[in-house]
Chains A and B, each alone.
Chain A
Amino acid sequence: MEQRPVRIAVDIGGTFTDLQIFDARQGRVVAWKTPTTPADPSEGLLVGVRESAERFGFALADVGLLLHGTTIATNAVLERKLARGVLLTTAGFEDVLEITRHFRRDLYGLAPDPFPCLIGRNLRFGVPERVRADGSVELPLGDLAPVLEKLKAAKPEAIAIGLLHAYANPAHELALAEAVGAALPGIPISLSSEISPEIREYERLSTTVLNAVLMPVVQNYLARLETRLGEGGFSPRIFLVQSNGGMCSLARAAAQPARLLLSGPSGGALAAERLSRRLARPNLVAVDMGGTSFDVSVVQDHRIGLVTQGEVDRLPVRLPMVEMRTIGAGGGSIAAVDASGRLTAGPRSAGARPGPVCYGRGGTLPTVTDANAVLGRLDPDFFLGGAMALDIGAARHAVAEHVGAPLALNVEAAAEGVLRVTNVQLASAVRLSLFEKGLDPRDFSLLSFGGAGGLHATDVADELGITEVILPREPGTLSAYGILFSELVQDLARSRLLRAEPDALPEIEAAIATLREEAVARLVADGVPEDQRATEISADLRYHGQAFELLVPWPEAPDLPALLARFHETHRARFSYAAEEEKVEIVTLRMSAIGRLPKPAETSGTAADKPATPGSRKVSQGGVAAPWPVWRREALHASDVVQGPAIVEEAFATHVISAGWQARLDPEGALIARRTA
């Protein structure tokens, strides 16, 4: 489908725009980094492409595919730079969006803030109509003139339509959209029956409203991006990364921007999936630790897990997304001792500004990074490849004052305490991610990346009983690497409560046929040739009466016994029991339409041509300061053995190989540490 030799993956982060470039002529993957341009990220993107074209010697006209990861939708929500939206909903239910599910998260707090609500009460209008749970119409769509008048007067930039039970019968939403489109031509409309056609009204409304108020924002961005095409012969086909880890076309992204909302961590998870195959490790738990957060995802049998709902800023987004647990623990997490003598690390963070005390940018409260610096685990003169000098004295002072003094510990013991408390939190997050699926950490390797990941990886593995840690090459641009190897994926779903019993089969088969038809139509629209199309079916199942469904793949569809057997087995694995005699319900049928992008044949990583000689630095542990070997990662040779305790440094990351661990370079270029004692 694409003949031009160069494929580029771009991941635009808050600080840097990361690129990974694959050139089929050499079969080689190279990386590039350029500063992000927050005002218009497409500018930095183009700069990065031009710089890398010059640096790696390809012409802009050689670029056939641009795979684009972006947090533009997420940032727009977090910063509330959103369109003025109006919500049309079933009359009597205008406040559902504001009422939310109304339980609180902070049990003992006395000063709660409301859950965010993106469309105020003055811009939510009721429509006379009523559809029932079985899709039948109780009250036909009534006179729309009054609501259209209100709508016009509201001068909306985006319109969300979400009616009760529209997942079961979208007719009223479609008719309403037509009337609204005629009355206010050119204003983008989002329908709940198209964005999230599943039962539970609040979650569906929330997702639809997010989609609506993002449409103008994302469409503007994509328009700017498109105007940059054509310069210097640069006219690749562009695809965007969705929350489900798959790519979608510009047209799809423009119509359903909510699908981009949780795509930030997708790249890392995709990279984990890719590495799981290249390194022949079917089970990986991938952890990405940066300055403020720690993201955990699980690769099982070479596949990343998906969930059907996530959230952004406490707003539910009910769309398939890469299963990811995020906790607020990172290098910038602040350590403190409270009135009861309890040592905590996070959730408060010093962020990028002022940042850790040792950065010397005005931070005064000790952070996890400061604890690492105090112990000598970070090189004060080679931090960020020498771009920043660390003020160790200031870090020591802060750790001693805020942690050491209240606990009556010396500064090194206090710093080690901060790291231990942090590592336990990281390990708890990993364990909970695995626990939810009934998995045992000991069956997994830990894949660690992100700027701060390598400092904690072997210790976190020890907490979990994991005996192998993988530190991939170029941990700083790993997300872009994952994006480079992704596919086009569109998720379709239909909610209808059905008994998983033979007499429901005709209805199930009809639903699958409809989904498949739509899936194929979408792949055709995206120009995917027939031999590169695939579809995957899954079902959300539960025992009659349960509220939560398990997503069960159904490759054998429509073989019901096979589906039920998988369901019971999954239920037992996750929840320690199965009830095979009980009735099972299908809540939602799902179809993934997959367009396979040709997989570049990537060559292996490169190692240095001769064994390395480590330097050394004094590191404190258990009250003893001893010299630890310090290795340069670029200088490592295949024959080098890094015996812990030791440190491995590279430009944007530092890795600690703890005592009892031994690390070597894998032929793929990953550094692999194993527990030896």
Chain B
Amino acid sequence: MVHIITRRGALALGAGAAAMMALREEAAAQQIPTQPADPPRLPIESGASLRVIRPARFVAPDEEFFRANTEKFSKQFNVPVRVDFVGWEDIRPQTAVLANTGTGPDVVIGWSDDPHIYADKLHDLSDVAEYLGKKYGGWQFLAEKYGKRHRTNNWIAIPLGGSTGPLVYRISAVKEAGFDKIPEDHAGFLQLCKRMKEIGKPAGFALGNAVGDGNGTANWLTWSFNSFLTDEDGKVAINQPATIRALEYLKELYPTFVPGTLSWLDPTNNRAYAAQECWMTPNGVSLYFALKNDPNTRHIAEDTDHANLPRGLAPDAPQSATIINAMVFKSVRYPNAAKAYIQFMMEAEQYNPWLTACLGYWSHPLKAYDASAVWTSDPKIALYRRGLDYRYWSGYKGPITAASGTAASEYVLVQMYASVAAGQATPQQAVQEAERRARRIFR
């Protein structure tokens, strides 16, 4: 599968098509276990046509297979479908315009929180979700969390996939530091980082204004000490002793990092890891594949493995995932066609080739896809198989709302940790400031 990526720069059309055919056959041959289930009755409106928007691709086959599956739907149901791949930052404003004006794409594949912001304006997708869940062995935890409306059993969105950021580390560096695997407890992990610093192969966790990586660091620290930003009712609860302990832990951990993590933006840790300046950092699977597909860095990939972020005091791995969530607004003209399209894309004949082609960049939401060959294609990506099975979500423990998204994009927790790491604030001051800002966002 590797050759697809390496060729994508100067991809000759013929080669791409051939590779696609090969992948498709390979994927079709796999057996995804299914249970008998009755699909919902969705009579497609006559003269229906659809427009779909989704975030831009991770890797070239993501787009190729998505388009191929869409074309299959068009042919089978005689519904013309146009798919637009939209820049990651632009999905949200476009969704907002659609919600307010009622005109725009019929199917929006947006980010995790988006359906919860517009819950009242969305078609209920429970019939599709329940059918898919029954047929494919049920939904994983985060899929259910992000798909269902808070405290109800009604599905307002169908999660298509998610990406998660566990620990990416150099096997040799961890060994040299005297460890066989990544310790799960705080003290052990601190010890590992201290040793790695001593041998000149330090770890690095982003603490700059990085939407993905910075929030990943902040959430891990918060959740691994059993703290949380909001309680079950969505009230701000960050000002608690557990947060102070997390901040004090970071004060000890931060000096072991490679210098400069306070200014790290999202791409920085990838660069530092590839340049062998940083030997352990949380990231998605993209880093591993980028290294593996470049002959100059392949040796780094061979020395790389993935692990869950240290659990600390938490009952489960303290991390979450970013989800792409398909939704249908009530204002669309052909709701049945839109629902049928989403359902079609999730069926094994379409979904599995796509999932396989994405090489693990997207983790699947339906449990049956655990059997997909993509997860055995490379033993080092096996961890991403349960990428949507983590038990934490944005704004944990509260409901998913617009405010939880705002708190993340305003870096409330990231800056709380960064100010303590930088020595600008005591843990008490930092947590009070974070509480003050969060109160405004969650009012």
Do the two chains belong together in a single complex? no
Chain B residues packing against A (C-beta within 8 Å): none
Chain A residues packing against B (C-beta within 8 Å): none
